[in-house]
Amino acid sequence: MKSHARILVASAGATLLTGCSTLGLEEDYIGGAPPASDQSAGPLDPEGPAGDYPVVIGPAYTVNGVTYTPEDALNYDEVGYAVRDVDAGPGVTAAHHTLPLPSYVEVTELDEGRTALVRVERRGPMKGNQLLALSADAMAQLGIASSAPVRVRRVNPPEVERAKLRSGEPAPLRIETPEGLLTVLRRKLPEARTEASIRPAPVESPTPATTPAPERPTPATPVASTGYYVQAGAYSDRARADRVAARIGGQVYPAGRLWRVRSGPFATAAEADRDLARIRADGFGDARVVSED
């Protein structure tokens, strides 16, 4: 009898399930019909928020005798020198020795104070010990064309700005850094070092003491002579003017409370125009040709 009863219950259950299927009740599922067993979620959109994951830290590695240990430093804020990453593709991107990949940083160019949002995507620089290697688009947005002093500060930008950088578009420039803060940051800069400077210096034999040569008198401030000049800019800070002059191979001329930075003189306007193109390509877009009669 018990065996017969179990058979009846099983039969009734099968009949009930069949009825439910006939009525389409298998579609009464949270969120609609359940997905078929052979269906799977498609790939995540690389241009969406998931494009910032997974975040890679990576093991320690050595470049030019210096070992770098990547880490997830949330409050990273350093000053140093940036160079161009010749292997970078389009987009406002950078290579960094230790920051997570990807991560986002605000890079401030310490000569003029421009600040751009940059996406860190690679390890580097791999040919030196500079702080950062920037793509051509990043350098163009910052207005620099060669090695330059920079501040690198890790930030957590809004998704709309992350999306722009992931798609290869630049985010808007930040507010320019005030001169007072730039002065403080410049004082923290390490001395510029080349690959040769990080190699052990040869031991030299001691030399006999000699009488030091008399100091040369400081040259007088130059006075502009007749001809054409290319003026890169005029600055209220003499030290800043000196840095710009060294960068373009020019000289500093006093003008009241300002210091003008110029290259030249050139005998013809055509010669000055050629140098103007060079200086503008180096990031001084407001440079112009002036003449002294």
Query: What pLDDT does 63 receive?
Result: 84
- Residue 205: which residues within 8 A CB-CB, separation 6 or more? none
Contacts made by residues 59-62, CB under 8 angstroms, sequence distance 24+: 61/123
Share of the chain above pLDDT 70, in %: 71
Mean pLDDT of 142-171: 93
pLDDT reading at 116 higher than 80: yes
Residue 280 dihedral angles phi and psi, to the nearest 5°: -65, -35
> Which range has highest mean pLDDT (17-26, 100-109, 271-280)?
100-109
Residue 223: which pLDDT band, with cuts at 50, 70 and 90?
low
Ordered structural domains, the chain, with CATH: 57-187 (2.40.40.10), 227-292 (3.30.70.1070)
Position 136 scores a pLDDT of 94
Helices of type H across the chain: 2-23, 136-142, 159-166, 179-187, 238-248, 269-281
pLDDT digits (tens, 9 = 90+) for 56-69: 999 999 888 889 99
